[in-house]
């Protein structure tokens, strides 16, 4: 059972996250020959105030 965890900053629309989960599952299915019903995709959303790039907070 493949489990893919994706961490992103909060704020993206539900439709975008749904599309990403579908495409990630399809990529795992295609590359690992894993049946779709066994693939799990988890999104972890982080508030911008808890995210930094190069030490500079994004929120």
- The catalytic site residues sit at 2
> What's the rounded Cα separation, in Å, for the pair 58 and 39?
32
Q: Dihedrals φ, ψ of 27, to 5°?
A: -65, -40
> Could you give the maximum distance between any two Cα atoms of the chain, in Å?
41
């Amino acid at each position: 059972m493949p489990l893919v965890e994706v961490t992103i900053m909060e704020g993206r629309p539900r439709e975008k996250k749904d599309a990403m989960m579908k495409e990630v599952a399809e990529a795992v299915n295609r590359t690992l020959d894993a049946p779709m019903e066994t693939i799990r995709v988890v999104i972890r959303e982080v508030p911008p105030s808890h995210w930094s790039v190069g030490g500079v907070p994004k929120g």
